[in-house]
Structures are given as structure tokens and as C-alpha cells.
Amino acid sequence: MPSAPLPIDEARRLASLRACDILDTDPEQAFDELVALAAYVAGVPIALFSLVDESRQWFKAKFGLDVCETPREQAFCGYTILDPKPLIVEDATADGRFSDNPLVTGALGIRFYAGFPLHAADGLRLGTLCVIDTHPRELRVDQISALQALANQACAQLKSRQVLRELSDLREREQALADRGLEAQASESFRVGQILHKGLAAELSEVAESLQSCRADAAVLSPSLNALLERSRERIVAAANDCRVVAQRFRGFSLLTLGWLDSVRADINHLQADHGVEIVFEDGEDPDLLLDYASAHRFAEFSHAALYAVIDQRGARQLRLSVVRRGSTLTLRIRHSGRSDGAAALHPASRLRVLAAELGSVVKETFAAPWSELSLTVNMSSPMRLPARAEPA
């Protein structure tokens, strides 16, 4: 039994078939109705919506047949996809291409076959809408026209699937590009916020403090010099405050786009690069899923401040950060290799204690070599006590 030759554009045809994302999918009413109507129009017991891949013809829809696929070398449809015109075989036993085909000589006993090629949006023929009978027969001109119209409808279904798949792929690629761009933008925004807050604002504050200490000497030397220094100090303090406000806006953008955990990961990357420390982030519960934005923002602020405090004040060079949920409580824990001197406890007015109070909690420190620990536990069922200050834009 001779097998149908492969189309000259077989590789492109198979790629187009896969692009339709239809092979081995579940039955669908639109295709089932098409084959049922095709069988009715032709007055035959069997009608199929057949798709031809490398090794088989697979039936997306079938009427009057129980099998889901047959080998490609036995497929009448393998010949149909070679030509844009319908293939009509009135008596398969009299056709040298099919007379010894197992589908003809076997139990199925095909005698009549009419296949109408189905092409995708790119014009490549992927399969057929075919009608089959176990008796030789002829089709009238009006039957051929009606079957061609049904085949055109089947082609439209294939084209729509291919277009929808391509559109979905395009949207995914665009979203991936947008996500990467947004992530980069958010990470850079966080970086700028850190520079403004930890760099420029801190340096301006130091300058302001230096001017304040010089005022006593200036008052002795010249009242006008003293006044000039005071005005300068006020402007510098105002500039430092402006830097902090802008920094918070950048940090707020980062938190909104990256989320709590990714924001902390970005902070960790910068800390490791800038301070030569080793920080291991042990993934746990994501507070973004457990806290509202305002509370998650405070929680993130605390984690950033705590990391800096442990590195700057405790001299830690190895840190392990984790988030643990137990019931309605969420605990941030930072274990570190810094100084285990209890005398260096946090000042009551320290930034960490203020942030902890805003979250309705307290910060705890324990000192025990080789790993000391700083932690904060938040009760998620209690409202957070937020300060009376504007939220970041």
C-alpha cells in the first residue's frame, strides 16, 4: 500500500498545526455540529474533522466512528492535504492508491471518501473535513457546494484559534517585557530612594548638626555670622527633609510594584554589594498576602531599617532573614553574627522602636553567640497604628 508523499512544506505545515493549539484537545460542540451536518448533507454514515500530524490523522470531531485516530500511512486525508481541491473517491476498491488500504480491506470497509482540505490562516493545509461511506457512491453538485461551505466554516474555526493563540503569545511576550521593565524601574526607584534617604539626607543632616555646633563660636565673633549660619542650617534641614519625602515616594513605588518580598530582596542585593555582607533570605509567608498595603509598607520599612541597624550598629557580616506565620501573628526574624553586647540595646526613641510601635508591636533583641537575633511580631487581626503623616504617592 503506497503512502501519500509528504507535502513540500511539511515542516511549516506541522508548525502551523501546532500553532493552532488544537491537537488532543477535548471535543467541542462547534466542531461536532459541523461533522454531523456534513454527514447529513452527504447522506453518509461517517463524517470526520481530521488533522494530520507527523504520524497520524487525529479526529477533532467524528460522527459515526468510535476511534480517535488512525496511522498517517493509512489516511486518505494524507492525499487530500496535497492539493487545495477536494479529493473525491467514489469507489476505493477501484483506486490504486487505496484498494489495498486496511481501512478498505478491513472491518471498516471504506468504499466512498470525499475530503475537503482545511487550511489555516497562513494557507497551509492542516487536515480535512471528510465524509465516508461503506458503499460506492457519487455526490451531486449541490452536495459538493454545501460540503465546501462547511469546510470553509471549519477553516474559519482553525484560523480563529490560530489568531487567538498568536494574540495570546504576543500579549504574554509584551507582558513579560513590561514586567521586566517594571521590575527594573522599581528596583532602580528603590535604589534612588535609598541613596536619597541613606546618602544625601543623612549627609545634609550631618552638615546641619555641624553648623549648629559652630553657632556658639559664631555668636561670639559676629551676630550677623551667627544669623547667616542659622539661616543656612534651616535651609539644609529643609533640604534634608525634602530628600526624605522624595525617598519615601521612590520606596513606596518600589513596594507597590515589587511587593514586600521582592522589595526586601532588592534591598539585600544592594546591602551585599555596598557593605560586603552575606545575607540569606529564608522564604516563608508573604506578608503581601496577609497585610493591607499600609501595614505591609510599614513592615517593609521596619525590615529595611532593621537590616541597616544590624549591619551598622552591631557590625554584622552574616545575616539570616525569615518571615514566619503562626495563626494570626507574623514574625520577622533577623539572626546575625554581630556584637552580642546587651549594653548596646536599642534606644527607646530609635527608628526601629518607632516603626514597631506604628505596627502595634515592639522590637526584641536577644544576644547569644554565635547568632544574635532581632525580631518583630505583628498581630494581623489588630488594626495597625499608623502615624499622622502622608502616605507615599
Mean pLDDT of the chain: 77
Beta strand 372-379 with 329-336: parallel, antiparallel or unpaired? antiparallel
Q: Is the model more confident about 183 or about 364?
A: 364
User: DSSP states of 301-366 as a string?
Assistant: HHHHHHHHHHHHHH--SEEEEEEEEETTEEEEEEEE-S---GGGPPPTTSHHHHHHHHTT--EEEE
For the stretch 193-207, pLDDT in tens is 555 555 565 666 666
Whole-angstrom Cα distance, residue 178 to residue 78? 43
Q: Is the model more confident about 21 or about 14?
A: 14
Q: Is the model more confident about 301 or about 225?
A: 301
Whole-angstrom Cα distance, residue 64 to residue 48? 9
The pLDDT assigned to 388 comes to 42
Nearest to 163 by CA among 60, 22, 27, 51: 22
The pLDDT assigned to 311 comes to 84
**Residue 387, pLDDT above cutoff 60:** no
Phi, psi of 255 (to 5 degrees): -65, -40
For the stretch 108-165, pLDDT in tens is 999 999 999 998 877 889 999 999 999 999 999 999 999 998 988 888 888 777 766 7
* Segments of the chain assigned to CATH 3.30.565.10: 277-393
The pLDDT assigned to 79 comes to 94
**Residue 214, pLDDT above cutoff 70:** no
CA angle 246, 250, 256 (to 5 degrees): 140
* Segments of the chain assigned to CATH 3.30.450.40: 10-139
Domain 277-393 maps to which CATH number in 3.90.1150.10, 3.10.200.10, 3.90.1170.50, 3.30.565.10? 3.30.565.10
* Radius of gyration of the chain measured on its C-alpha atoms: 37
Whole-angstrom Cα distance, residue 360 to residue 298? 11
Distances (CA, A) of 215 to 125, 160, 202, 230: 89, 78, 20, 7
Q: Is the model more confident about 282 or about 68?
A: 68
Whole-angstrom Cα distance, residue 252 to residue 259? 10
Amino acid letter, 215: R
Domain 10-139 maps to which CATH number in 3.30.450.40, 3.40.50.720, 3.30.1280.10, 1.20.1250.20? 3.30.450.40
Q: Is the model more confident about 211 or about 56?
A: 56
Confidence of residue 390 (pLDDT cuts 50, 70, 90): very low
Mean pLDDT of all residues in 45-61: 95
The pLDDT assigned to 123 comes to 83
pTM over 0.85: no
Whole-angstrom Cα distance, residue 116 to residue 35? 12
For the stretch 239-293, pLDDT in tens is 766 666 665 555 554 444 445 666 677 777 777 887 888 888 775 545 544 555 5
The pLDDT assigned to 392 comes to 39
The pLDDT assigned to 255 comes to 47
For the stretch 152-168, pLDDT in tens is 888 888 877 776 676 66
**Contact (CB, 8 A) for 55 and 3:** no
The CB density around residue 296, as the number of other CB atoms within 10 Å, is: 21
User: Could you tell me what percentage of the chain is helix, strand and coil, using 3-state DSSP and rounding each to the nearest 5?
Assistant: 55, 20, 30
